[in-house]
């Protein structure tokens, strides 16, 4: 059962919808799945971890046999850091494609870890050009790894991974993809594209609760990584080895409730019809929102042809009476939590459309927004009094 089948709205415990992925709005069964305790050494719990890894790999479709799945405790960034620190050798060098905060964060992590790093940076509503990528790889032959973000959640831009991957592979480099906010929400041909390592987390398109991420790793590359890690707790090779040798045992305290909720979330993804069905719902959410926002005079930061179906960014209305915090509070009152902007060049705010939310919920949000345009009402009042 998903909440959508029930008469009550999705959160069902009186909390607002989280249009802030993520954390995002989870279904009632996902939340309820956490109402008991598990021992992390216990066989039932370890079996849950084994099943989770198997199910995640099955989502890759063709070529899945060449991959393995390594979960990691913590928020998504812990997995990004674990990936960079565990897989890039001491004499390696990373090229990071960055058009937002998450791309920049990959480069920053590399610097923290003393990994040689260069970047190709463009504005947050633009794509790094394939020509620039090709030239950079030809010019700097020390580069061994290329890291990119699929959906840059900063703006909601969806980066053209199908264009970049062949260039990276042609140049013989290892490809690392941060697919945190896109994996399971859109079909990613991981094997066909030649992706070596891809990361995502529990609390984005799979609609679980926060507390762990996971790396999908090409087995042949993973096996080369023993002893490379720059951190004890974020050593993905050791995590993988422990899970393999001990039937799903995590190295350190496992996020038991998070894994149980994730198991329920994976079952719901399956009963919804898999990635294709979920992608369709997210696209419908997105279309409903964008159409309504444009009708209300809002302007998008990202062009339609570059926009992902996961999160959208809107420019602040052109009124000095507009106040994001005030809008935030008004909408929260009406049951919707939205996201502040992260695009540095433009004052903007964000609305996520993933999680246990449906086009009807987007419609209700649009009504709530239309009823709370205090900046227009105050503008009008001022005009009257002038
Ligand atoms: C959510 C997200 C992350 C991880 O962020 P955390 O706050 O650490 O969970 C990383 N990259 C992208 C693109 C994301 O959307």
User: Which domains are present in the chain?
Assistant: 10-26+274-385 (3.90.1150.10), 30-269 (3.40.640.10)
> How many whole angstroms from 77 Cα to the centroid of ligand 1?
6
Continuous segment of H or E residues that includes residue 104: helix 101-112
Per-residue pLDDT, averaged over 131-150, amounts to 98
Q: What pLDDT is recorded for position 384?
A: 65
345 falls in which pLDDT band (50, 70, 90)? confident
Are the C-beta atoms of 199 and 215 separated by less than 8 Å?
yes
Query: CA 18, 156, 210 angle in degrees (round to 5)?
Result: 40
Q: Is the pLDDT of residue 377 over 90?
A: no
Angle at 14 between CA 335 and CA 351, to 5 degrees: 30
User: What are the structure tokens assigned to 341, written together?
Assistant: 């902007």
The predicted structure's pLDDT at residue 371: 96
Q: What is the mean pLDDT of residues 322-340?
A: 96
pLDDT of residue 134: 98
Please give the pLDDT value at position 10: 59
- Whether the pLDDT of residue 320 is over 80: the answer is yes
255 lines ligand 1 (CB under 6 A): no
Q: Is the pLDDT of residue 318 over 50?
A: yes
Does ligand 1 have an atom closer than 6 angstroms to the CB of 178?
yes
Residue 132: count other Cβ atoms within 10 Å of its Cβ: 13
Instruction: Count the residues in the chain.
Output: 386
> What's the pLDDT score for residue 3?
44
Question: Would the CB of 180 count as within 6 Å of ligand 1?
Answer: yes
Q: What is the pLDDT of residue 343?
A: 85
Q: Is the CB of 310 under 6 A from ligand 1?
A: no
Check whether 5 has a pLDDT greater than 50. Answer: no
d(CA 339, CA 349): 6
251, pLDDT greater than 50: yes
Task: Tell me the C-alpha distance between 88 and 265, whole Å.
Answer: 32
Distance, CA 274 to ligand 1 centroid (Å)? 22
Residue 9 banded pLDDT, cuts 50, 70, 90:
low
Closest CA to 187 of 209, 205, 214: 205
Q: Are 158 and 99 in contact (CB under 8 A)?
A: no
What's the gap between Cα 87 and its chain centre? 21
Decide: 154 in ligand 1 pocket, CB within 6 A.
no
Percent of the chain with pLDDT over 90: 90
Q: What is the mean pLDDT of residues 116-140?
A: 98
The answer to whether the Cα torsion of 45, 50, 54, 56 is positive or negative is: positive
The rounded Å distance from CA 76 to ligand 1 centre is 5
Lookup: tokens for 21: 């992925």
Question: Average pLDDT of 10-15?
Answer: 74
What integer best gives the mean pLDDT of the chain?
94
Model confidence at 8: pLDDT above 70: no
Per-residue pLDDT, 22: 82
Which protein residue has the closest C-alpha to ligand 1 atom 3?
76
String of DSSP letters for 263-289: HHHHHHHHHHTHHHHHHHHHHHHHHHH
Q: Does residue 201's CB lie within 6 angstroms of at least one atom of ligand 1?
A: yes
Distance CA 277, CA 269 (A): 9
For residue 13, give both structure tokens: 């415990």
Instruction: Report residue 250 as tokens.
Output: 């995590």
Give the tens place of pLDDT for each residue, 255-266: 999 999 999 999
Own/partner long-range contacts of 292-298 (Cβ < 8 Å, ≥24 apart) = 292/362, 292/363, 292/366, 293/351, 293/366, 293/369, 296/366, 296/369, 296/370, 296/373
Query: Would you state the pLDDT for residue 2?
Result: 45
Three-state DSSP state, 5? helix
pLDDT at 170 over 90: yes
Query: Which distant-in-sequence residues (6+ apart) come within 8 Å of 343 by Cβ?
Result: 100, 124, 125, 154, 155, 301, 313
Q: For residue range 173-192, list pLDDT tens digits in order.
A: 999 999 999 999 999 999 99
Contacts of 37 (CB under 8 A, 6+ apart): 256, 257
Q: Is 223 left (phi over 0), alpha (psi -120 to 50) or beta?
A: alpha
Q: How far is the CA of 199 from the centre of ligand 1 (A)?
A: 10
pLDDT digits (tens, 9 = 90+) for 193-214: 999 999 999 999 999 999 999 9
Q: Is the pLDDT of residue 11 over 80?
A: no
- Give the model confidence (pLDDT) of 267-308 as tens digits: 999 999 999 999 999 999 999 999 999 999 999 999 999 999
Q: Which of 71, 180, 204 to mutate to test the pocket of ligand 1 (most atoms within 8 A of CB)?
A: 180
Q: Is the pLDDT of residue 252 over 70?
A: yes
**Mutational test site, ligand 1, from 96, 201, 255, max ligand atoms within 8 Å of CB:** 201
């Amino acid at each position: 059962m998903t909440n959508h089948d029930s008469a009550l709205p999705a959160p069902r415990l009186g909390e607002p919808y989280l249009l802030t992925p993520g954390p995002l709005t989870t279904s009632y069964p996902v939340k309820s799945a956490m109402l008991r305790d598990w021992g992390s050494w216990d066989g039932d719990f370890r079996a849950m971890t084994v099943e989770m890894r198997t199910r995640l790999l099955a989502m890759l479709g063709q070529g899945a046999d060449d991959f393995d799945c390594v979960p990691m405790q913590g928020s998504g960034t812990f997995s990004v850091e674990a990936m960079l620190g565990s897989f890039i050798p001491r004499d390696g060098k990373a090229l990071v494609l960055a058009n937002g905060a998450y791309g920049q964060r990959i480069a920053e992590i590399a610097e923290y870890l003393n990994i040689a790093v260069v970047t190709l940076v463009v504005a947050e509503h633009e794509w790094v050009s394939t020509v620039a990528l090709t030239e950079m790889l030809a010019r700097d032959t020390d580069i061994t790894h290329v890291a990119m973000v699929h959906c840059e959640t900063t703006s909601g831009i969806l980066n053209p991974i199908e264009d970049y991957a062949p260039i990276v592979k042609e140049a013989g480099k290892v490809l690392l993809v941060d697919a945190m906010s896109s994996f399971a929400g859109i079909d990613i041909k991981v094997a066909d594209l030649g992706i070596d390592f891809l990361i995502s987390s529990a609390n984005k398109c799979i609609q679980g609760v926060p507390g762990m991420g996971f790396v999908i790793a090409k087995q042949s590359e993973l096996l080369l990584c023993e002893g490379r890690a720059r951190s004890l707790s974020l050593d993905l090779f050791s995590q993988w080895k422990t899970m393999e040798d001990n039937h799903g045992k995590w190295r350190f305290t496992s996020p038991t409730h998070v894994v149980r909720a994730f198991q329920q979330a994976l079952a719901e993804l399956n009963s919804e019809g898999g990635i294709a069905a979920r992608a369709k719902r997210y696209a419908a959410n997105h279309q409903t929102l964008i159409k309504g926002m444009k009708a209300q005079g809002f302007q998008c930061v990202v062009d339609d042809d570059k926009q992902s179906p996961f999160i959208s960014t809107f420019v602040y209305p052109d009124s000095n009476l507009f106040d994001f915090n005030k809008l935030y509070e008004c909408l929260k009152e009406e049951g919707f939590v939205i996201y502040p902007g992260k695009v540095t060049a433009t004052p903007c705010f964000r609305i996520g459309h993933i999680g246990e939310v449906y086009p009807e919920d987007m419609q209700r949000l649009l009504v709530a927004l239309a009823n709370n345009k205090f900046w227009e009402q105050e503008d009008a009042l001022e005009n009257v009094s002038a």
